[in-house]
Amino acid sequence: MLRFAWQNLITRPTRTILAVSGLTIPILAILGLFSLTNGIRALMGNTLARMNGLMIMSENSPAPVFSDLPAAMGDEFKKIKGTRMVAPEIWKICPQLEGRNLLARAATRMFTGRGDQKFSSFAETIMIEGQSLPEHLNLKSGVYEQGILPREKGGGRFLRLEDIGQPRVLISTKIARDYPGADGKPKQVGETLHIGGKPFEIIGIYETGSFLVDMTVVMEITTARKLLGIGEETVSTFYIEPDHVTDLNLLSERIRQQIEGVQVKSMSQFNVQVGNIMGRLDLFLLLTVSLALLVGAVGIANTMLTSAMERIVEFGVMRANGWTRRDVLGLVTVESALLGLLSGVLAVLAAGGAVAFVNMLLAKLELRLELSFVLVAGSVAAAVAIAVAAGLYPAWRASRMTPMDAIRNGAS
Amino acid sequence: MAHLEPASTAATAEAQSAVMIRVSNLKKSFQSGDELVEALRGVDLEIERGSCTFIVGPSGSGKSTLLYLLGALDEPSSGEISIEGQTVTAMSETDRDHFRRSRIGFVFQQFNLIPNLDAVGNVLLPFIPTGLNRTLRNKAVGLLEDVGLGHRLRHRPSRLSGGQQQRVAIARALVKDPAILLADEPTGNLDHKGADEIFEILRREQRVHGRTLVVVTHDRRFIREGDRVIEILDGKIVA
């Protein structure tokens, strides 16, 4: 039966190709979009997993760079039971770096760069983080400090107390590479980086492996205030670590109860929030792609209905030779399922190639499109299910005629 | 499949008797627009086992309708058909499907081969849903060789002449080892030579294998002495 159904499809190649294309394209879109959201989800998870603490931001601010809090609020946090360390931070989007802003640099790369450079710059926004050193130097989970490259690789050192007020910065290997020196080589420790037109000495180079974290220029907080024009009475966020006996969620709850006008985010909460956002994004994408899927399903239904009507006599002859209604129904349904399977497999192959190509373009970013087994299996299953559903009516039409009606009506 | 088993002593006796087909007061009418067309108006007949019967009559007289009803391709408005003692008109749809697959062989005027299948595939058509095996394939090849198509086994219908296509259709009818061969104008689309060859094959099946042959035709030149001829006019047997 399967072989017969397959023969029926391949002997009408044009119609089969059109029907398969109609379903392949939306399935391909699903695979592409969901592999992107999977990649973003993984990237966010990797980044947030590196931090073990609470981030305090002003209420309703979507990200640290948009948050402003009174610096004096730090004393209130210190009083809360279970707090081990309260580390003030300044977060802002980086002003001109080496005389170029983001858009100018991205546009330049678009025309002069090769391969992945052409596109990756559009995904990059450099941020400044100013750290209050007395506190940050005593954190247990110092992401940047742990990420300093070994001395033999030119990693330099982390910030020290003597760097307070000094124009010294840590940059990532990525920033060093993206903003090379006059000789075209990546910036090295001891060289100068111009931020907002001002010279800063590079004292350390780090690499955390997280695309998002590695987009940060780290400096001491008073240096950041001078650069960004932020007064001493203001900070962007507080990073709070619990003591060794206090659960992070418990500390988070205490802060919420005792301090108003702030939002408390644990990194796991960030993860959940990211998951929720990505979930909504997935739903939105699914709704959008559903329209294309509907069009694909209509195409399959149209193909199968036309095919069934053309073969009325054939079905009559089959019935005359002992085929039951269920056999005819099964034949047309198997043909629909094969169309769906073909669409799903083609979409997976195309998506696999596209994902590999895009990942090659994004080679220097941590972001990777992820084509998971569940996504692949789900897409193929969905393609088959949609095709079978679309083929049910044509199959029913084909099976309901009596053999004599089919032979006579088809012949006339 | 209850109807296909010898259910009673009477049925068993009839299954073994000389009468293969018994038709009682068979009527068939259908709606054509506003008009009620009475295709058959009370047909009674008996056809002997292993006989050759011709149903003749003008176009629209009801002869093809009678043939299709004998083959359980359609349901009568009233009346009864029994074949080998089994009342076909009382069978469920599933039983009729099984009956057609196992006991009846059809040959149509238009050949009605499946264009996507080669000659062997077309012969095996009845068994595609139930599954094919080597025995069935060998049988199909043997039948095609018997009808002179051993060199056309892998040819699709589009590459066969009309006569060759009809021979494939006959092989398809025979692959089921049917007790009854029903042919609706089997030579209607063939030239004289092709028609002669087809009738020779049909006659051989009737003579050698004892199959009951019922043929609807306009062409009386194939009728031989000893054949039964049933003439239908306006839905009634007139001779």
Picking from A158-162, A295-299, A407-411, B126-130, which range would have the lowest pLDDT averaged per residue? A407-411
Pairing of strands A54-58, A262-266: antiparallel
Average pLDDT, integer, range B40-47 = 92
The answer to whether position B229 is within a domain reads yes
Of B68, B101, B116, the CB nearest to A321: B101
Residues in A closer than 8 angstroms to B31, CB to CB, are none
Confidence band, pLDDT 50/70/90 cuts, at residue B7? very low
How many other CB atoms are found less than 10 A from the CB of residue A47?
22
Cα–Cα distance measured from residue A173 to residue A188, given in angstroms and rounded to the nearest whole number: 9
pLDDT computed for residue A129 by the predictor: 94
Which pLDDT does position B11 carry in this prediction?
55
Helix (H) / strand (E) containing B230: strand B228-233
pLDDT computed for residue B56 by the predictor: 92
Residue A403: its chain B contacts at CB < 8 A?
A: 68, 73-74, 100
Which residues from A are below 8 Å from B172, CB to CB? 321
Q: Where are the domains of chain A?
A: 2-45+275-411, 60-260
A7/B117 Cβ within 8 A:
yes
Residue B15 inside a domain? The answer is no
Q: What is the CATH number of the domain that holds B164?
A: 3.40.50.300
Which of A311, A317, A399 to mutate to probe the B interface, most B CBs <10 Å?
A317
Looking at residue A140, its pLDDT comes to 82
In a domain, B26, yes or no: no
Residue B5 lies in a domain: no
Q: Do A320 and B73 touch (CB under 8 A)?
A: yes
pLDDT band (50, 70, 90) for residue A51: low
Q: If you average pLDDT over every residue of chain A, what do you get?
A: 84
Nearest chain A residue to B74, by CA? A404
Residue numbers in A near B71 (CB within 8 A): 320
pLDDT > 70 fraction of chain B, expressed in percent and rounded: 93
Is B27 within the bounds of a domain? no
The reply to whether B82 falls in a domain is no
Chain A residues closer than 8 Å to B117 by CB: 4, 7
Q: Are B215 and B180 in contact (CB under 8 A)?
A: no
The pLDDT of residue B19 is above 90: no
CA–CA gap between residue B165 and residue B145 (Å, rounded): 14
Bigger pLDDT: B88 vs A285 = B88
> Would you state the pLDDT for residue B4?
45
Angstrom distance (rounded) from CA B104 to CA B95? 13
Cβ neighbours of residue A284 under 8 Å, at least 6 residues apart? Answer: none
Q: Looking at residue A198, what is its pLDDT?
A: 93
The answer to whether residue B148 is domain-embedded is yes
- Structure confidence at residue B41 as a pLDDT band (50, 70, 90): very high
Subunit contact B102:A322, Cβ cutoff 8 A: yes
A279 vs B115: which has the higher pLDDT: B115
**Is pTM beyond 0.95 here?**
no
Does the beta-carbon distance from A402 to B75 stay under 8 Å? yes
Answer whether residue A412 shows pLDDT above 70: no
Chain B residues within an 8 Å CB radius of A404: 68, 73-74
| Helical H segments across A148-266, by residue range | 173-178, 221-228, 248-258
Between A and B, how many CB-CB pairs are < 8 A?
A: 69
**Residues B163-200 pLDDT 10s:** 899 899 999 999 988 999 999 988 887 888 888 888 88
* Contact status of B114 with chain A (Cβ, < 8 Å): yes
Structural domain span for residue B147 = 50-74+91-237
Of the pLDDT bands very low, low, confident and very high (cuts 50, 70, 90), residue B6 is very low
Q: What is the pLDDT of residue B2?
A: 39
Kindly tell me if the per-residue pLDDT of A269 is higher than 70. Answer: no
Contact yes or no for A319 and B73 at CB 8 A? yes
Q: Stretch A310-326: mean pLDDT, rounded?
A: 86
Total domain count, chain B: 1
List the single best residue of B97, B123, B170 to mutate versus A (max A Cβ within 10 A). B97
Residue with tokens 């239908």: B232
pLDDT tens digits for range A235-267? 999 999 988 888 888 888 899 899 888 988 876
Are the CB atoms for A161 and A137 separated by under 8 Å?
Answer: yes
For A211-243, write each residue's pLDDT tens digit: 667 889 999 999 999 999 999 999 999 999 988
